[in-house]
């Protein structure tokens, strides 16, 4: 049974709800495959981004299917160059991991390959969202192939990693060796026209591209370089934020600007931030917080670096403490839950009923579960993290955020928040009340990670 009333769903254990959620996810993925294939003419041409309600009439969408005026519950889609394009094929590869029916496993692999292949030719000189469009996609293909086909996937991953790892010099390359972080030179939007070293927090998950590649690379020189770059990036950001906030807890903004002037006394230091998709320049945008949590957690998982662990915990504890100590109510259920508001400070200072971002909580759950793989059970926060993940997954698998299959909803999760109108003037409130493909991917990833966690801890 995929369709249960909330009171019936609440009778299930969390483990049963996880299984239900995975089955609903498979149903939604099949619907999305069929929908996009029909729209694109062939599989793998159109990539889902987010769902959205139309401002006028659903009819306009049938005449102009590429517009953002998609009917509510239907996907707005684009091409393979969109930053989130890799989330859908990555989701399909995740689903095939837990598929037990051999014929359906072949089905998932077939369509995962259809949507993965167009991403192979992405130019990562321009596209900076490397992990979500490369290693999330091609590592699963690598794990499910042999011979020449397997080598092809590894080559695709290594080629992207080498692009990512290029040291910055004369306007090229993305890793600033003296500052110790990935980014690019950029003029800030809100300040003077001076050029700074700019770090976009969304791209921090690129550390996983480096770390997975380092683990699978026989070249020890490259392996050491890639691992050191990933560790340095997390430490540079985390320590700078700690210094700014004068606390072990770490709150994150979307854009960070470091002094890139060799002659300045503040060279290499974090000077200021821009909130952009957050409420204000110094407010804590929950999805930015989630990106850092996931990135620091996965870095610790691969490296067991003690400083990285403390930074990861500082960011996780900020996120969880805010959920625990503040009454952030859901507009949907009119009750408190463990789904993060789109911006913590806006929720605390302006409106505790403000819109949620289910994708932020999904990313955090996936990140904490990866941390728990190598975090000693003796750690004082271990039990807190397990309980918090279970609370988040319980709420994400509620009917409020995970609709039954009889509800016409294309995405797996509801109430993802891409951009909030209080942050970006002119954006629609619907941008905070729809499904987002990256939220769906991290949700499925968290479901699978939790099942693995239970299995490994039952032994």
The three-point CA angle 52-53-58 to 5° equals 120
Q: Where are the beta strands (DSSP E) in 40-112?
A: 47-51, 75-78
Within 13 Å, how many C-alpha atoms sit on residue 119's CB side?
A: 35
User: What is the rounded average pLDDT of the residues 439-449?
Assistant: 98
pLDDT surpassing 60 at residue 428: no
Is the Cβ–Cβ distance between 292 and 235 less than 8 Å? no
**Model confidence pLDDT, tens digit, residues 130-155:** 999 999 999 999 999 999 999 999 99
Q: What is the spatial distance between Cα 359 and Cα 415, in angstroms, rounded to a whole number?
A: 8
pLDDT surpassing 70 at residue 266: yes
**Model confidence pLDDT, tens digit, residues 383-404:** 999 999 999 999 999 999 999 9
118: confidence class by pLDDT, cuts 50, 70, 90: very high
Average pLDDT along the chain = 88
**Model confidence pLDDT, tens digit, residues 353-370:** 888 999 999 999 999 999
Task: Pick the more confident residue, 67 or 176.
Answer: 176
pLDDT surpassing 60 at residue 56: no
pLDDT at 433: 74
Q: What is the spatial distance between Cα 84 and Cα 94, in angstroms, rounded to a whole number?
A: 16
pLDDT surpassing 70 at residue 71: no
pLDDT surpassing 90 at residue 41: no
Q: What is the spatial distance between Cα 22 and Cα 26, in angstroms, rounded to a whole number?
A: 6
User: What is the rounded average pLDDT of the residues 152-167?
Assistant: 97
pLDDT surpassing 80 at residue 200: yes
Strands 47-51 and 195-200: unpaired
The three-point CA angle 140-129-410 to 5° equals 70
Q: Which residues contact residue 30 at a Cβ distance below 8 angstroms, ignoring those fewer than 6 apart?
A: none
pLDDT at 381: 97
Q: Kindly report the length of the chain.
A: 459
Question: Concatenated DSSP letters for 237-278?
Answer: HHHHHHHHHTSSS----SEEEE---TTSTTTTSEEEEE-TTS
Calculate what percentage of the chain has a pLDDT beyond 70: 88
Task: Pick the more confident residue, 170 or 288.
Answer: 288
**Model confidence pLDDT, tens digit, residues 78-112:** 889 999 999 999 999 999 999 999 999 999 999 99
pLDDT surpassing 90 at residue 351: no
User: What is the rounded average pLDDT of the residues 37-63?
Assistant: 72
CA separation, residue 421 to residues 152, 276, 307 (Å): 43, 11, 37
Crossing angle, helix 135-143 and helix 87-97, to 10 degrees?
A: 30
The three-point CA angle 113-116-118 to 5° equals 120
Is the Cβ–Cβ distance between 303 and 231 less than 8 Å? yes
Q: Which residue has the tokens 């903004």?
A: 253
Number of helices (H), then strands (E), belonging to the chain: the values are 16, 8
User: What is the rounded average pLDDT of the residues 158-175?
Assistant: 92
217: confidence class by pLDDT, cuts 50, 70, 90: very high
316: confidence class by pLDDT, cuts 50, 70, 90: very high
pLDDT surpassing 90 at residue 243: no
pLDDT surpassing 80 at residue 430: no
């Amino acid at each position: 049974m995929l369709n249960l009333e909330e009171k019936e769903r609440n009778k299930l254990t969390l483990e049963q709800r996880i299984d239900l959620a995975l089955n609903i996810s498979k149903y939604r993925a099949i619907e999305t495959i069929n929908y996009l294939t029909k729209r694109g003419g062939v599989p793998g041409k159109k990539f889902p981004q987010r769902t959205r309600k139309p401002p006028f009439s659903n009819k306009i969408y049938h005449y102009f299917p590429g517009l953002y005026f998609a009917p509510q519950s239907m996907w707005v889609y684009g091409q393979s160059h969109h930053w989130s394009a890799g989330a859908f094929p990555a989701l399909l590869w995740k689903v095939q991991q837990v598929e037990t029916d051999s014929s359906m496993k072949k089905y998932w692999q077939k369509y995962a390959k259809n949507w993965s292949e167009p991403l192979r030719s992405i130019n990562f000189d321009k596209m900076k969202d490397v992990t979500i469009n490369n290693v999330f996609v091609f590592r699963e293909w690598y794990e499910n192939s042999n011979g020449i086909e397997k080598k092809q996937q590894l080559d695709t991953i290594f080629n992207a990693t080498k692009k990512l790892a290029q040291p910055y010099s004369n306007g090229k390359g993305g890793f600033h060796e003296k500052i110790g972080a990935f980014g690019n030179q950029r003029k800030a939007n809100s300040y003077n026209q001076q050029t700074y070293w700019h770090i976009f927090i969304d791209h921090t998950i690129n550390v996983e591209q480096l770390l997975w590649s380092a683990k699978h690379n026989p070249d020890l020189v490259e392996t050491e370089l890639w691992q050191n770059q990933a560790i340095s990036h997390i430490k540079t950001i985390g320590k700078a934020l700690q210094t700014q906030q004068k606390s072990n807890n770490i709150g994150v903004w979307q854009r960070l600007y470091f002094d890139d002037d060799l002659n300045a006394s503040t060279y290499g230091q974090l000077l200021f931030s821009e909130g952009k998709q957050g409420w204000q320049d110094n407010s804590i945008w929950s999805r930015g917080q989630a990106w850092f949590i996931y990135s620091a957690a996965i870095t610790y998982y691969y490296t067991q670096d003690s400083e990285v662990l403390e930074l990861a915990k500082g960011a996780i504890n900020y996120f969880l403490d805010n959920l625990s100590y503040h009454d952030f109510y859901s507009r949907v259920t009119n009750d408190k839950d463990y789904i993060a508001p789109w911006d913590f400070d806006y929720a605390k200072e302006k409106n505790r009923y403000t819109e949620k971002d289910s994708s932020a909580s999904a990313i955090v759950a996936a990140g904490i579960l990866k941390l728990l793989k190598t975090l000693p059970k003796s750690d004082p926060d271990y039990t807190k993290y397990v309980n918090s993940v279970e609370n988040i997954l319980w709420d994400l698998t509620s009917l409020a955020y995970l609709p039954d299959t009889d509800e016409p909803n294309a995405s797996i999760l509801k109430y993802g928040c891409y951009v909030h109108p209080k942050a970006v003037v002119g954006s629609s409130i619907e941008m905070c009340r729809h499904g987002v493909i990256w939220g769906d991917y991290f949700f499925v990833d968290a479901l699978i990670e939790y099942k693995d966690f239970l299995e490994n801890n039952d032994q």
